[in-house]
Amino acid sequence: MAVSVMRGATEQEINDVFARINTYGHRLSDQERRQAGVQDDFSGLVRNLSCSIRGDASTNEIKLSQMPSISIDLPRTRHGYEVSADEVFWVEQGILRSTDLRDSMDEQCIADIAASVVGGHLIERSKEALDKVYDAGSGENARINAALSVYGADRFESEFKFCIDEILKVCNADGSQRLRNILFAKRSTNPFPAIFTVLIIAFHESLVQGNKLVADYVGVKKSISGLYDRIDTSRGSTTPDERRKNVDTIKGLIAKSLVDGHHAEIYGPHSSTDIDNAIRRSELELPHYELKQGMLRLEDGRAEDSGAVSGIVHTICAMANNGRKRAGTIIIGVADREMHATRVKQLDGVEPRRVGSRFVVGVRREAVVLGLTAERYFSKWKNAISNSGLSSPLKEDVLSSIDYNDYYGLGLIIIDVPVQRTLSYVENIPYWRSGDDTLAASDFKKAAELGARFA
């Protein structure tokens, strides 16, 4: 949710608002938003989305003094920040240089795309055009904010992240390549925010507005190979008319690899960006996140670990008992130790994807070992939760929100633990979180303490 805070709200009120927002976008009611003085606006959208894409958010409880900060480590200036610049999407794909992040070039890029999409037509690519969008006294600012109030900040964020996911699928089709290496026929180290902007807009117009599905990611990859030499990149290409020509050229190039269809997952809660952020946050917000590598033991026999499934059920219960204001997230398919990731690679031939200090190994590999499709493997987890002693309504809430995400072809199972109104149990025993440990309430006093969280 993109938000800005109106003058007059206290820091405590602001922090209370952000404490109510979980990783995947818990929505405040209209009444709550009015009471907290929160409003959607263009600058809030850009700030929130840029931080999300960077992975620059260590906690949901954001203090006012921390909101403008950028916790990004540049390659030559390691200070132990949470996110390394070379792991950020913009730098990883070569769109921007690491130093560009400190100059907020990513925000300019997002603002350009957002104004063009939400506003209904391409704007000129220039500092002057963006200044008008941000200038609170300008007609352009009023136009864009009025359009955003109709379009919806949440809707645009979801669509933007979806388009990024689709581009990443193209990059990983038939062998992983950086986007820069695809778009430039000759080796280059140049950033290309202008090309990326028209590429994203072309994907948005084709897939989101045009209700198309990518039927052939390899075909799209071939179509946009060497794109830099096939569209106008001169100084004159910054005008709305010339940008329109470039967008239409890209749409024409990829059209043969698309088919009619609707993307039901566009507005789902689990984009690759959101998943990466949740994995990073798990290192700090221990009671509210849990990562598991899977249900099979990392031994030659690959036997099922019955304790893994029961452990997940107990953790679901414990997270639900964190209280009325905090949700939880469990991601299955992530190793928290490098030695486990190395063992997975040895056993299953999977190349782990590093996110922060964690290693995504996925669960598709376990489905292969068990001789199951991804769908049947996913059902195996759902059935285990359904048949468990987890109390209602928690069980039903979790089963309605559990999700399978392809995530770079590795496959992840994501279990959202929604906020509950009452204490939850497994076989009539309440569980709770102490850091990243899941514990049973061993006496009446502890159970009473947990129950008081819902008073």
Q: Using an 8 Å Cβ cutoff, are 205 and 247 in contact? A: yes
Q: Which position has the higher pLDDT, 35 or 358?
A: 358
The pLDDT tens digits of the residues spanning 273-285 come to 889 989 988 888 8
Q: CB-hemisphere CA count at 13 Å for 310?
A: 9
**pTM assigned to the model:** 0.78
The pLDDT tens digits of the residues spanning 37-84 come to 444 589 999 999 999 898 865 434 433 333 333 455 555 444 444 567
The pLDDT tens digits of the residues spanning 397-447 come to 999 989 999 998 899 999 999 999 999 999 999 999 998 899 999 889 999
All domains in the chain, ordered by first residue: 4-265 (no CATH), 282-452 (3.30.950.30)
Nearest to 248 by CA among 106, 108, 122: 122
Q: What is the reported pLDDT for 82?
A: 55
Task: Report the 10 Å Cβ neighbour count for 32.
Answer: 13
User: How many Å apart are CA 208 and CA 213, to the nearest integer?
Assistant: 9
* Interval 217-230 mean pLDDT: 96
User: How many Å apart are CA 61 and CA 12, to the nearest integer?
Assistant: 10
DSSP-based helix, strand, coil % in the chain, nearest 5: 50, 10, 35
Q: What is the reported pLDDT for 133?
A: 95
* Interval 157-183 mean pLDDT: 94
- pLDDT-above-90 percentage for the chain: 68
Q: What is the reported pLDDT for 33?
A: 40
The pLDDT tens digits of the residues spanning 291-350 come to 999 999 999 889 999 889 999 999 999 999 999 878 899 999 999 899 999 999 999 999
Range of lowest pLDDT (5-9, 124-128, 212-216, 384-388):
5-9
Task: Indicate the pLDDT class of residue 85, thresholds 50, 70 and 90.
Answer: confident
Nearest to 294 by CA among 275, 274, 309: 309
At 328, phi and psi to the nearest 5? -145, 165
Q: Which long-range contacts (CB under 8 A, 24 or more apart) does 139-148 make?
A: 141/42, 143/119, 144/42, 144/115, 144/118, 144/119, 145/41, 145/42, 147/118, 147/119, 147/120, 148/40, 148/41, 148/42, 148/45, 148/118
Q: Which position has the higher pLDDT, 23 or 179?
A: 179
Q: What is the reported pLDDT for 441?
A: 94
